[in-house]
Each structure stands twice: as structure tokens, then as C-alpha cells.
Amino acid sequence: MVLTHTTNHSYTHPFPTVTLAFFLRYYSPQLNPFSAHVLSTDTIDSHVDPETGRLHTTRIHLKKSRMPSAIIKLLPASVTGGAGEKSSYVLENSIVDIKEGWMKTESRNLNFTGVLSVTESQHYSATPPTRPTTRASLPPLGSRKTDKAAANEENSRGRFGWISGWGAKRIQSSIESIASNKTDDQIIKSRDGMKMVLERLRSNGVVAVLRELNRREGKSVFEA
């Protein structure tokens, strides 16, 4: 089953600030209280394409799963991907083109893909300078990899072959419906989080924001 949600939103902040907020949104729960479920964030690739000037970034986030633990317990380690029974790895790819004024991002889960795949794509773009707002759309929940899980289910020789067993279908459809029902709520929270980061950046620059966060944690940066 493939479900798609699409929403649009205009931020009343300049485009460059919105892209910065995207990179900062999981930086600290003090900056974004809606990021408390994010356990870690790592960058595995970051480069500027010399031809286009676009910044390509790949990050891995480890998030506490929102799935009910009763369901998680039914899943074998081969499905949870060994990240711990309540955690899920999310791969995030982003491209920023500052000259053309757009940012595209795509996030998807790396484990649990045998039961549910969620791909979240976002497209931010700057509207003409007269209206300095930034648009975001959050389409597809559950897209191509859900197809793949279904394919594995049919031939039942894939790594997730177990899922073709009795009862597994019911588990899968419960998980899908939970994920689907939670999506609208999650989009609002994620947007609220972005807004909080944006507000902090509006009143202070990024260096001041980081310095303040580090001061609270008893560290000093930028002084060296």
C-alpha cells in the first residue's frame, strides 16, 4: 500500500535562513523542543559541486521510534536493523542551490523497511524578492520502498520473507495505519520546530545562537 500526503506552507522568513534552520533543526532540544526524540545526527557527506555551486549533504539521524512497543517486540532483529528495538535510522539527503534559491530534501528510514517505508520529500524555494517567503511541501509518505516490501512479500524469499507468514499482513496494515494517522500531526510538529529555530535565528545570528547554547552546556566555541 502506498500513501501520499502533500502539504504546502509559506514561511515568513528569508530563504537562506530557512535552509539554515533545516540544518539546525535537530541541533539541540533547547533550540527546538520538538527534537527531543532525535538521539543523534551525523553527516556522512558534504560537498559543493564545483560546476553548479550546489551544496550536497547526506546525514544520518537516529530517532526514537514512535511505534507502539507491543508491535516493535513482534519484529525480528533483521527488520529492526539492530538499532535497538525502539530506534530507527533515517537517511537524509539535501541539495541547496543558493544562486537559484531552492533546497530539496529527501528523508527515509533505513531500518524497519520490511514493514514500512516512509519517504519525506521537501522542496523549499524562494519566491520573488518582493515576497520573501519560503515554501515547503512534504509529500510522499510511504512510497517506492513500500512497493519493494510488497514484492518481497509475494516471492517470500527476500530477507523479509517471514512477513508473508500468517498474521504478518495484519501487523503491517496496523503499522501503516498508525503511521498514516500520525503523519499530519508530525508535519505540524516539524513545522513548529522549524519556526522556533527560525525565531531564534531572526533575533540572533547563528554564531550567537550556538554560543548561547554552548554557554548553557558549559562549553566555549569560536573563542579559539
Q: In the bound complex, what is the minimum distance in angstroms from residue 91's beta carbon to another protein?
A: 6
Q: Which residue has the cell 502533500?
A: 6
Instruction: Record the cell numbers describing residue 223, joined without a space.
Output: 573563542
- Cα torsion 196, 197, 201, 207 to 10°: value is 140
Radius of gyration of the chain (CA): 19
90 near another protein (CB under 8 A): no
User: In the set 2, 95, 98, 171, which binds another protein (CB under 8 A)?
Assistant: 98
Strands (E) in the chain, as ranges, are 8-11, 38-48, 55-64, 87-97, 102-109, 119-126, 134-137
2 near another protein (CB under 8 A): no
Q: In the bound complex, what is the minimum distance in angstroms from residue 62's beta carbon to another protein?
A: 5
Q: Considering only 24-32, 66-74, 160-168, 170-178, which stretch makes contact with another protein by CB under 8 A?
A: 24-32
Instruction: Using the minimum distance from each CB to another protein, give the nearer residue, 43 or 177.
Output: 43
Edge-to-edge, what's the strand order for the sheet holding 134-137? Answer: 8-11, 134-137, 119-126, 102-109, 87-97, 55-64, 38-48
67 near another protein (CB under 8 A): no
Q: Considering only 80-88, 127-135, 164-172, 175-183, which stretch makes contact with another protein by CB under 8 A?
A: 80-88
Query: Which residues from 178-207 bind another protein, rule CB under 8 A?
Result: 205-207
Q: In the bound complex, what is the minimum distance in angstroms from residue 24's beta carbon to another protein?
A: 7
60 near another protein (CB under 8 A): yes
Rounded to the nearest angstrom, the gap between the alpha carbon of residue 177 and the centroid of all alpha carbons in its chain is: 19
81 near another protein (CB under 8 A): yes
Rounded to the nearest angstrom, the gap between the alpha carbon of residue 141 and the centroid of all alpha carbons in its chain is: 11
Q: Yes or no: say if 173 and 153 are a contact pair by the CB < 8 Å rule.
A: no
User: In the set 71, 91, 95, 171, which binds another protein (CB under 8 A)?
Assistant: 91
Q: In the bound complex, what is the minimum distance in angstroms from residue 169's beta carbon to another protein?
A: 22
168 near another protein (CB under 8 A): no
Q: Considering only 41-49, 68-76, 124-132, 172-180, which stretch makes contact with another protein by CB under 8 A?
A: 41-49
Q: In the bound complex, what is the minimum distance in angstroms from residue 125's beta carbon to another protein?
A: 15
Q: In the bound complex, what is the minimum distance in angstroms from residue 120's beta carbon to another protein?
A: 14
Provide the residue type at 189 as one letter: K
Q: Yes or no: say if 5 and 138 are a contact pair by the CB < 8 Å rule.
A: yes
Q: Yes or no: say if 167 and 28 are a contact pair by the CB < 8 Å rule.
A: no
